[in-house]
Structure 1
Amino acid sequence: MTDFFDRLETRSPADREAAQMAALPGQLAHAKQNSAAFADILRDIDVSGIQSRAALTRIPVTRKSELLERQKAKRQHDAFGGFSALLRGPAMSRIFASPGPIYEPEGASKDYWRAGRALFAAGFRSGELVHNSFSYHMTPGAFILESGAHAVGCTVFPAGTGQTEQQLEAMVDLKPNGYTGTPSFLRILLEKARDTGSDVRSLSKASVGGEACPPSLTAWFKEQGVDVYQTYATADLGLVAYETAAREGLVLEEGVIVEIVRPGTGDPVAEGEVGELVVTSLNPAYPLIRFGTGDLSAVLPGTCPTGRTAPRIKGWMGRADQTTKIKGMFVHAAQVADIAKRFPQVHKARLVVSGEMANDQMCLQVEASDVGEGLREQIEAAMREVTKLRGQVQVVRPGSLPNDGKVIEDARSYR
């Protein structure tokens, strides 16, 4: 693919950097004036002087855990914790809830999440049909990709999650050109189609996210006739980066300023070094400044061979904290504690995530002095209620879990 979504993708790196740095003071002033949270965070900072990446480091990193705590503290008066610059009404089309819960606003502007750029790079074009299997329930994933598909000119079938047989039937009948959703569910659909002899040959491309998609899985999809491209987006920021036909890292979106910092700090690392992905959004509706995603990545040297000139990152390389993405959903250490405190018999808990990519399994190991009848089943029910995911429970003797401070252990294979 040699054409582009718009002219911004091919401007010189110097022109892009100059334009973003020129826009930065105005965005900071806007956030300080219209967002109560950033009025507090930026209280002692002269934002007019923030016109470079070096100056940007004067602003503290706001991490997802801090955003959640501010929201909890202000919940009686402002569900967004003072971070949103939008008021409810015509300018705010939807409100979403991510695990925590963390509430996110959606502005009414076209392609609010800026996902059109990612879908275009993945080969989606006007007039095509997209089968969207991201969740339409509470979280914004489905809406992020749907708005991007509309920006490209596609029609969308809102499949949502689950109901594999019905989704496969719709694919056979409607013959979609592309798929959006998690890579694990796409694999399930394609394997089911193979086993049942269902004709899904119309499907030739996919934009996937929500979980890692290693090269081995991308190659498997290619063998099935589907070109799969990764999209990195969050419920807070919208699109951050996307894969292109070059398959060399992920190209950064035009509406964000990205830094890689040493985990637990706000200090940028050397280019190429792995650190936490910190994003400053130029979105006036939800102006997140130096937002710590908790995800690890690194900047790649040079530019994309497709001609896109924005910086590139290696992609998702793990978590900077213990928050872990399982089957496309974030699970926080606080949620594990919430489950454990519901049962007085449980002294300690550790969530172990295992399996290969696209086949996540989770087991909650609990130290309990009194197992009692039905304890495992009760804890498993609490896991489903708190995390919205199914998992197993293993009861172990008191004192047997490692004393290393880990609440969530990611033991998955990333080959």
Structure 2
Amino acid sequence: MSDYFDTLETREPAAREAALLAALPLQVAHAKLASVAFAEILKDVNPAEIISRAALARLPVTRKHELLEKQIASRSRGGSVFGGFSTSAFGVDVPRVFASPGPIYEPEGTAKDYWRMARAIFAAGFRPGDLIHNSFSYHFVPAGSMMETGAHALGCTVFPGGTGQTEQQVQAMAELKPAGYIGTPSFLKIILEKAAEMGVALPSLTKAMFGGEAFPPSLRDWFSAHGIAGYQCYATADLGSIAYETSAREGLVADEGVLLEIVRPGTGDPVAEGEVGEVVVTTLNPTYPLIRFGTGDLSAVLPGTCPTGRTNVRIKGWMGRADQTTKIRGMFVHPGQVDTIAKRFPEITKARLVVSGEMANDQMTLKVETACSGPDGLAAKVMEAIRDVTKLRGQVEVVLPGSLPNDGKVIEDARSYQ
């Protein structure tokens, strides 16, 4: 049996990039024509010109809070619950609708493996004919359906275990003997501990795919000690599958159905390979054609290709949240404002706002990297820009290139809250 879900995974990177960029202007045109929201967002865009990464990077990033705001505004007017982002209304083309916290409503279309989860499930070791115990929630949020439709596309049978009822979960596993589990790692740990308490062996359970929570090496080793090889996937309710872990355990390989970028938090500007930034994704989903959707998650591209032979770009995995908006002296300061300040000075290559002091005694220092040795008056000019953009006073510290950490932070809150 093949080690790969399909031949797309081992394409020459140039062939993959060419295919994605060929599909990109068509998807942008479709979104602009069929989605009310993107008709407005892309009103000044000629889709035929979006044929490169550079052209894509000039399009605005739509972030989750903007999606929520448009949905709320649309609902208040009696319009689309999807805020105009979906190209289909309720009916045969949208058999299910789900809700994520906010609430943000997400459509599920009719395409086979609509959320593109089969590839990730395959990489976690599942094969056609396996019985999968699915313990993601089946109500409100789409997680349960995401995994079930992916498993069906792979040719697996699914037991819809859902969440809770731990003893019944153990009983079902003991009697049905599933090949593996899909759900959060914490819940499987609870199930295994309950099984031990009940004196019930679960020898059939040898593989698992996890999502929705962190999966640190310590927990991976715990499952391994219990005979279970666990792998993680990275997916969201808006986008479906974004990336997945392989047996190499070196980062996460991007899904074949997305165009992935890493941008500087608070902006739409792509960062250099290896630099930590926000994950921004463009999908080729015709039902929900999200163009440059900001996930709010931090990650970074890993150099090279996966040792398993998969040739798509890899990311390090989840590295924190990109929304670093911070309240300073009663005023909100956003990462985008820090970027605005830095862009006023071509000699600045990187900037980081550090907020220190104690509550009610906030101090902020903008650390700026520059190759120039003590440029005349730079610090004073940057201080003026800080005041102009944020309406707050701040200090400036000029540092050498490479001095600031590569952790994706544009605003660091180092205040004492004790």
TM range (shorter): 0.7 to 0.9
User: Displacement of 1:46 after TM fit?
Assistant: 1.2
Could you say which residue in structure 2 is the equivalent of 1:159?
161
3-state SS, counterpart of residue 195 of structure 1: helix
Which range moved further: 85-94 or 58-67? 85-94
1:241 pairs, out of 240, 243, 247, with: 243
Question: How big is each residue's C-alpha offset from its partner over 1:58-105, in whole Å with a ceiling of 9 and x where there is no partner?
Answer: 101000000000000101211000000112221111000000000000
Could you say which residue in structure 1 is the equivalent of 2:222?
220
Question: Which residue identity does 1:234 align to in structure 2?
Answer: T
Report whether the alignment pairs 1:98 with 2:100: yes
User: Displacement of 1:2 after TM fit?
Assistant: 5.7
Could you say which residue in structure 2 is the equivalent of 1:266?
268
Report whether the alignment pairs 1:176 with 2:178: yes
Question: Which is higher, the Rg of structure 1 or of structure 2?
Answer: 2
Structure 1 contact 13–310 (Cα < 8 Å) conserved:
yes
Which range moved further: 188-197 or 16-25? 188-197
Could you say which residue in structure 2 is the equivalent of 1:8?
8
Question: How big is each residue's C-alpha offset from its partner over 1:319-360, in whole Å with a ceiling of 9 and x where there is no partner?
Answer: 11269xxxxxxxxx9xxxxxxxxxxxxxx9xxxxxxxxxxxx
Question: TM-score when scaled to structure 1?
Answer: 0.78
For 1:186 and 1:315, the matched residues in 2 are separated by 21
- 1:336-351 alignment runs, 5 A limit: none
For 2:42 and 2:220, the matched residues in 1 are separated by 43
User: Displacement of 1:195 after TM fit?
Assistant: 2.4
3-state SS, counterpart of residue 239 of structure 1: strand
3-state SS, counterpart of residue 92 of structure 1: coil
For 1:400 and 1:288, the matched residues in 2 are separated by 40
Which range moved further: 22-31 or 86-95? 86-95
User: Displacement of 1:120 after TM fit?
Assistant: 0.6
Question: Which residue identity does 2:295 align to in structure 1?
Answer: T
User: Cα 1:201–1:403, aligned 2, differ >3 Å: closer, same or farther?
Assistant: farther
3-state SS, counterpart of residue 87 of structure 2: coil
User: Displacement of 1:316 after TM fit?
Assistant: 0.6
For 1:295 and 1:304, the matched residues in 2 are separated by 22
- 1:216-365 alignment runs, 5 A limit: 216-321=218-323
Report whether the alignment pairs 1:42 with 2:64: no
Question: Which residue identity does 1:199 align to in structure 2?
Answer: A
For 2:238 and 2:361, the matched residues in 1 are separated by 34
Gaps of 5+ in 2: 331-357, 365-411, 414-418
3-state SS, counterpart of residue 28 of structure 1: helix
User: Cα 1:172–1:26, aligned 2, differ >3 Å: closer, same or farther?
Assistant: same
User: Displacement of 1:190 after TM fit?
Assistant: 1.2
Question: TM-score when scaled to structure 2?
Answer: 0.77
Question: Which residue identity does 1:210 align to in structure 2?
Answer: G
1:197 pairs, out of 180, 196, 199, with: 199
3-state SS, counterpart of residue 91 of structure 2: coil
For 1:400 and 1:48, the matched residues in 2 are separated by 52
CA RMSD of aligned residues (A): 2.2
For 2:286 and 2:123, the matched residues in 1 are separated by 25
User: Cα 1:141–1:403, aligned 2, differ >3 Å: closer, same or farther?
Assistant: farther
Could you say which residue in structure 2 is the equivalent of 1:386?
none
Could you say which residue in structure 1 is the equivalent of 2:397?
none
Question: How big is each residue's C-alpha offset from its partner over 1:41-64, in whole Å with a ceiling of 9 and x where there is no partner?
Answer: 000111110101111011010000
User: Displacement of 1:404 after TM fit?
Assistant: 9.5
The count of corresponding residues between Structure 1 and Structure 2 is 335
Runs (4+) of structure 1 exceeding 3 A deviation are: 399-405
User: Cα 1:190–1:257, aligned 2, differ >3 Å: closer, same or farther?
Assistant: same
For 2:203 and 2:6, the matched residues in 1 are separated by 30
3-state SS, counterpart of residue 3 of structure 1: coil
Report whether the alignment pairs 1:206 with 2:238: no
Question: Which residue identity does 1:207 align to in structure 2?
Answer: M
User: Displacement of 1:249 after TM fit?
Assistant: 0.4
Could you say which residue in structure 2 is the equivalent of 1:21?
21
